[in-house]
Amino acid sequence: MALVEINFDGIIGPSHNYSGLSLGNLAATKNAGKVAYPRAAALQGLAKMRHNLSLGLTQGFLLPLPRPHAAFLADMAVSADADPALAAMAWSASSMWTANAATVSPAPDTADGRCHLSVANLVTMPHRSIEWPDTLAQLRLAFADEKHFAVHGPVPATFGDEGAANHMRMGPSHGETCAEIFVYGRQHYGEGGTRFPARQHEQASRAIARRHGLAEENTIFAEQSPAAIEAGAFHNDVVSVANENVLFTHEQAFADREGTYAAIRQKVPGAEIVEVPASAVTLEDAIASYLFNAQLLTLPGGTMALVVPSECMALAPVAKWLDDMVRGNGPIRRVLPVDVRQSMANGGGPACLRLRVVADPAKVDSRFLLNDTRIDSIAGIVEKHWPESIAPDQIGRADLAETVQNARQILLEALNLKELG
C-alpha cells in the first residue's frame, strides 16, 4: 500500500458561535458572548485546506454535525429557547476541531495490520460529549473498508478521552512502524492544584493502546504538566506537536520532562527534540499564540514545515524564536503562517482543525477527499448559505435554526453524502 499522511480538516459549521463553553480554554472563555462570523470562519478553514493542497499534500475533510442537536434538548426536557446555556450546547460547532474526533493508529503500528480509529467520548465538556455518535457515523463511512480499517466506538464514559489532541506518533517515516505517545492528565488538588480539568484520563489512553493492538515496546504514556494545564493548555497539542522523528515542544509540556525525552529517545532511534525554553517563550505566550497548535508536516520533497496561526507572527518572542529556528540548522526548515482567526478566537488553531490519518488514499471513501474542484464547490456553498454572523441572542431562534439546517443539507447533497443527513 502507498501509505501517506492525510489531514482530515473539519469544515466549520454554519452554527459557529462564541458561547464560551470550554472551561480551561482561555481563548474560548475570553471571547464568550462576542459576535461570531460562521461564513468567514468556514472560508478561513477552507483556505488552510487549499494551502495544504497547494503544498502537494493529501487533504481530506469531515462534515459539520447536525445542529442544533434536537435530541440533546429533548433528553434535557427543554425547548430551544428555554435555557440559554443548554441551547448553546445544542448549537455548538465544536466538532470543527477534528483533532478531538478520534485517536488513530496506522497499520504499521497495529497487531492486525489495519489502521485503527477510536472515536473520542469527549465527556469532560457537556457540549462535546454529544458529538461522538455523529462523528462515529462519519468515520465508519469514510473508513468503511474493513480489510484496511477498524473503527471503534468510544471507551467507557467513566474515563475521559479527547482523541488525537493528546496523542503523537514518532518514527522514521509515516509509512513505517512508529512509537505512539499517549499524553494524559491528572487532577491535582489542594495547594498548587489546578483550576481546570485534566481532560485525558490515563486509563482511556491505555485502553485505546490495547484495543489498537499496539506493541508495548513501541508505546509511551506520559503525563502532561499540571503547570501547562493551569496555564490553559487543555490538550497536549497546545504545547507539543510531533512529526516523523521530530518532537517540537515547550520545555514545560510534560510532568516528567527528562523521563519523557528519555523514553522517546529509547523507542525512536534518531529522534530530534526541538525544545522551546520557557526563558524564550513563556507558557502564556505559547498558549496565546498557539505556537505548538501547529501542523508539523513533511512536504513532498522531504522538507519539514510548520504551519502556524498568523497570531504567532504578531507576538514578538514567538516570532523571534521561529525566525531563529529557521535560521539555524534544525530539522524544521519552513514556517508557514495561515489565517484561522475565527477558530483561534474560539480556542482552536491549525492543529485542532485536523485529524491525521496515515493510510492509502485509495482505500478511503473518495467523497471525503479534497481536490481543487471539490473545495471550490464547498466554498461556493459556504459563501451563499452560511450565516454571515451569529450574535449570542440569536442562539435558539427558529429562523436561524432553519438557516443552519438548510445550509448543512445543501452541502450534504452537493457532496453526495445525504446518508449523513
Q: How far is residue 322's CA from residue 340's CA, in Å, rounded to a whole number? A: 19
Classified as helix, coil or strand, 18 is: coil
DSSP string, 34-66: S-B-HHHHHHHHHHHHHHHHHTT-EEEEEPPPP
Are 305 and 337 in contact by the 8 Å Cβ rule? The answer is no
Helix axes of 398-414 and 372-385: crossing angle, nearest 10 degrees: 160
C-alpha cell, 393: 441572542
* Residue 115 annotated as catalytic: no
Catalytic residue among 51, 201, 235, 250: 235
Q: How far is CA 189 from CA 161, 195, 226, 346, in A?
A: 21, 9, 11, 28
* Residue 235 annotated as catalytic: yes
Catalytic residue among 131, 162, 251, 311: 162
Residue type, 312: C
Q: Within 10 A of 290 (CB to CB), how many other CB atoms are there?
A: 25
Catalytic residue among 115, 178, 312, 352: 352
Residue type, 362: A
* Residue 51 annotated as catalytic: no
Q: How far is residue 301's CA from residue 292's CA, in Å, rounded to a whole number? A: 23
- Catalytic center residues: 162, 235, 352
